Amino acid sequence: MGQPSVVIVGAGQGGFQVAASLRDEGFGGRIVMVGEEPPHPYQRPPLSKTYLIGKTSADALLLRPRDYFAAQDIELRCGERVAFIDRAHQKIGVASGLEIAYDHLVLATGARPRTLDVPGETQDGVLSLRTLADADRLRAQLRGVQDIVVVGAGFIGLEFAAIARQFGARVHIIEIADRPMARAVSAETAHFFCSAHQAQGTQFSFATHLTNIIAGAGRVAGVETGDGRQLRADLIVVGAGATPNTELASAAGLAVLNGVVVDENLLTEDPAISAIGDCANFPSSVDGRRQRLESVQNAVDQARCVAARLAGFAARFDKTPWFWSDQGDHRLQIAGITAGYDTSIVRGDILTGRFSVFCFRRGTLLGVESVNRPADHMAGRKLLAHKLPLTHEQAADGAFDISSYAAGRMH
């Protein structure tokens, strides 16, 4: 029998990592990556940060040099759209008419920005930020605009707001929740970042939504909100969350529920198909509850897990998720998932912008949110990864050395 063939749909961080890790694990079969975007695989996190202000070039975004893929015998087909999955014959069809057979298929299709579904959404000057092309369009329009409305106070919206202020623009953020990053962080962390952005001139409108985009002379001129106000806008940036790209999986008859449904091994109901990253709905290793995470590190960890399994090393996915967000002078790092916490304990000083929030549910540590406290972040990752118990009293005791405890030097 010949070597097996692995086909990867999606050439983002997760898809790339599957291919790279397969070769690192000694896999000698055929590897084909198919991605819709025309450039070589690149990093997305800098797009909303250093790339927008010109500190990072397009070449610096590349995950590997262009000759890496040929050297590793990875067939890279960028700028191609997969039209269908034929599970019965284990092949995919590309829009150009090409068909590619697989022994195992990995879906790393990612997610796309959620649309607003309001009048005027298609006008010039309404942009989102997900791809390199999006970032290029935004960067071209940032200079010279005076008033920017950002829809959504999540990570992307806040990161963009911090960058836009450096161009001298006035920024107004509209958020349907009552605080920024409401679904992702504790009240303490949310309120700190709200104040930090306000101190730099950003305005917020919470508990409201966008109802209409006002037309100007060939492009946007403003917006109307659900509470009856009109805001001037030369540019509108939509950061209202993302929708997983599950259409291929659904059309192929695979289970879809806010993502492609996979088990603890990241396998779909079809044993010849895995799904990873932003498009995958998987069970938490902590409590078994299903979740879908939009995180570079989650995509990378899941990619490595699938690659290890395909290379013959059984691997159940049980990695602790972690995230980061750079907003102006402040770096937020999160270990674990803090949603659903019932107790929060702050270590450090919120007033100086160096603190961590330890979030518990029923006495068990769920996660740690650290602002400019990298040592706490690393300790939190170790505590969660090794399931080391931490009490409320220990977290609240400033004299208790959590880093040493997490490293196993305290008993």
- The span from the first CA to the last CA of the chain, in angstroms, equals 54
Of 149, 124, 146, 128, the C-alpha closest to 138 is: 128
CATH of 5-112+243-310, one of 3.50.50.60, 3.40.50.1000, 3.40.50.970, 3.40.470.10: 3.50.50.60
Number of Cα atoms under 13 Å in the Cβ half of residue 83: 8
pLDDT at 410: 47
pLDDT at 98: 95
Topology alike, domains 5-112+243-310 and 329-406: no
What are the backbone angles phi and psi of residue 19, rounded to the nearest 5°?
-60, -50
Per the DSSP assignment, residues forming a β-bridge with 201 are none
**Average pLDDT of the segment spanning 364-381:** 97
Q: Residue type at 193?
A: F
Residue-averaged pLDDT of the chain: 95
**Average pLDDT of the segment spanning 236-252:** 97
Per the DSSP assignment, residues forming a β-bridge with 329 are none
Residue 1 has pLDDT above 60, yes or no: no
| CATH architecture for the domain at 329-406 | 2-Layer Sandwich (3.30)
Model confidence band, residue 285 (pLDDT cutoffs 50, 70, 90):
confident
Q: Specify the fold of 122-240.
A: FAD/NAD(P)-binding domain (3.50.50)
pLDDT at 258: 96
pLDDT at 309: 96
Q: Give pLDDT tens digits for 290-320.
A: 999 999 999 999 999 999 999 999 778 999 9
Of 121, 184, 119, the C-alpha closest to 324 is: 184
C-alpha 357/C-alpha 360 separation (Å) is 10
Per the DSSP assignment, residues forming a β-bridge with 223 are 213, 231
pLDDT at 2: 65
Domain locations in the chain as residue ranges: 5-112+243-310, 122-240, 329-406
Task: List C-alpha distances in Å: 178 to 39, 152, 208, 403.
Answer: 39, 11, 9, 34
C-alpha 55/C-alpha 58 separation (Å) is 10
Task: List C-alpha distances in Å: 205 to 59, 143, 239.
Answer: 38, 24, 15
Relative to beta strand 364-371, strand 330-336 is antiparallel
C-alpha 13/C-alpha 98 separation (Å) is 24
Say if residues 134 and 164 touch (Cβ distance below 8 Å): no
Burial state string for 9-19 with b = 16 or more CB within 10 A and e = fewer than 16: bbbbbbbbbbb
Q: Give pLDDT tens digits for 93-146.
A: 999 999 999 999 999 999 999 999 999 999 999 999 999 999 999 999 998 899
| Positive/negative CA dihedral, 270, 275, 279, 283 | positive
Helix (H, G, I), strand (E, B), or coil: what is residue 187?
helix
DSSP 306: H
Q: Give pLDDT tens digits for 39-88.
A: 899 999 999 989 999 999 999 999 999 999 999 999 999 999 999 999 99
Model confidence band, residue 154 (pLDDT cutoffs 50, 70, 90):
very high
Lowest average pLDDT, out of 5-9, 94-98, 217-221, goes to: 217-221
Residue 245 has pLDDT above 60, yes or no: yes
Model confidence band, residue 409 (pLDDT cutoffs 50, 70, 90):
low
